[in-house]
């Protein structure tokens, strides 16, 4: 039995277990800090790049309405509600900015796993993840700095260069290696999702362990705001795309892409660009919350009879 075959499907429970252990005894995970977190995310993004081919980007020209709808909802619904919920819950400035930051991040590899398990449109999910990741080089710093206002000093230029470093370089390298060394990368691709799960879990647990006291003392309002944020992302992503596109599998896919953020990226950007370490905590909790929602999404939709349409690639 190859354990790597089952790790991606157990993603929510691995993250939850690691987070609980981090709250119980932080040193189990707090060693994974500093450059380890940056390198960990770089490894995740490299793995994503290794799973992509140039054909994945060419699909955009075949179904531009699907892709544009997904990108529009990705960078409008979540950032707006991230900003609004920070106000409604009267979050401290460092939490409010952290919430805006993670809500302005692109979709991550976890969304691809959830789309696959829920029998939605995997080809569209991969395309949206790739394109939102590239768009995030500009959109994430722009949205974070614009929506944060005077809450806290946001280094937009620093965010831009950090995003460029942790997204563009490893993803492009992965795509290049996949194109030139296909035979070798195919062997690695099998392990990439499992490695991503392990690295995301280490990143999340480390941040939660480091912020244990802050989370326990003032984390309830933050947790509720994050739970509502991702629930809104899933719901509006589904219903708005269903109204606009009238395709079940596509609507489910966009719902997952909008509802699940690249929280690991949020953690790294927060750690590299803000003095207060608490800015990274919303991203860490976000990873746990959207993973649990994702598992519920799979339970709701994986058995649907119309899931067969999910196996179709973009036409």
Q: Is residue 216 part of a domain?
A: yes
Is residue 307 one of the residues assigned to a domain? Answer: no
For residue 232, is it within any domain? yes
Cα dihedral sign for 261, 142, 172, 70? positive
6 domain-assigned: no
Answer yes or no: is 5 within a domain: no
What pLDDT score does 72 carry?
94
C-alpha to C-alpha distances, 236 to 21, 70, 230, 243, nearest whole angstrom = 33, 11, 10, 10
Q: How many domains does the chain have?
A: 1
- CA distances (Å), origin 309, targets 123, 242, 247, 295, 314: 12, 15, 10, 20, 11
Q: Are 288 and 143 in contact (CB under 8 A)?
A: no
Q: Which residues of the chain have pLDDT under 70?
A: 1, 56-57, 59-60, 109, 116-117, 150-156, 167, 218-219, 299, 302-315
State residue 307's pLDDT score: 42
Tell me, what's the pLDDT at 74?
A: 92
pLDDT at 306: 45
- Report the alpha-carbon distance of residue 130 to residue 304 in Å, rounded: 27
pLDDT of residue 238: 93
Tell which residue, 111, 128, 133, has the closest CA to residue 65: 128
Q: Is 305 a domain residue? A: no
Q: What is the pLDDT of residue 125?
A: 81
Whether 1 is covered by a domain: the verdict is no
Closest C-alpha to 78, from 147, 151, 161 = 147
State the residue range of the domain holding 68. 12-298
Buried b (16+ CB within 10 A) or exposed e, 249-263: bbbbbbbbbbbbbbb
Closest CA to 135 of 108, 105, 162: 105
Q: Is residue 87 part of a domain?
A: yes
The pTM for the full model equals 0.76
The model's pLDDT over 195-223, given as tens digits with 9 standing for 90+, comes to 878 887 888 888 788 878 777 776 688 88
* Residue 44: CB atoms within 10 Å: 28
What is the three-class DSSP state of 276?
A: coil
CATH number, domain with residue 160: 1.20.1530.20
């Amino acid at each position: 039995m190859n354990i790597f075959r089952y790790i991606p499907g157990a993603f929510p429970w691995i993250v939850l277990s690691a987070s609980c252990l981090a709250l119980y005894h932080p040193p189990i995970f707090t060693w994974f800090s500093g450059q380890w977190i940056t390198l960990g995310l770089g490894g995740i993004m490299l793995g994503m790049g290794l799973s992509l081919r140039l054909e994945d980007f060419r699909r955009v020209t075949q179904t531009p309405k699907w892709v544009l709808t997904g990108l529009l909802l990705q960078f409008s619904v979540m950032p707006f509600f991230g900003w609004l919920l920070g106000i409604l819950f009267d979050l401290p400035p460092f939490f409010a900015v952290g919430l805006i930051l993670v809500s302005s991040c692109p979709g991550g590899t976890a969304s691809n796993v959830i789309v696959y398990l829920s029998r939605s449109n995997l080809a569209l999910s991969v395309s949206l993840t790739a394109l939102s990741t590239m768009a995030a080089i500009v959109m994430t710093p722009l949205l974070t700095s614009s929506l944060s206002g005077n809450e806290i000093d946001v280094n937009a230029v620093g965010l831009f260069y950090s995003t460029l470093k942790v997204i563009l370089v490893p993803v492009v390298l992965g795509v290049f290696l996949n194109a030139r060394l296909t035979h070798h990368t195919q062997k690695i691709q099998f392990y990439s999702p499992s490695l991503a799960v392990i690295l995301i879990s280490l990143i999340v647990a480390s941040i939660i362990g480091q912020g244990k006291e802050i989370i326990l003392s003032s984390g309830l309002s933050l947790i509720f705001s994050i739970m509502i944020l991702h629930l809104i992302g899933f719901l509006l992503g589904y219903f708005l795309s269903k109204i606009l596109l009238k395709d079940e599998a596509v609507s489910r896919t966009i719902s997952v892409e909008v509802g699940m953020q690249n929280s690991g990226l949020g953690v790294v950007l927060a750690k590299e660009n803000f003095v207060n370490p608490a800015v990274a905590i919303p991203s860490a909790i976000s990873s746990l919350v959207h993973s649990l929602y994702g598992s519920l999404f799979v339970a709701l939709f994986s058995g649907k009879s119309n899931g067969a349409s999910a196996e179709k690639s973009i036409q």
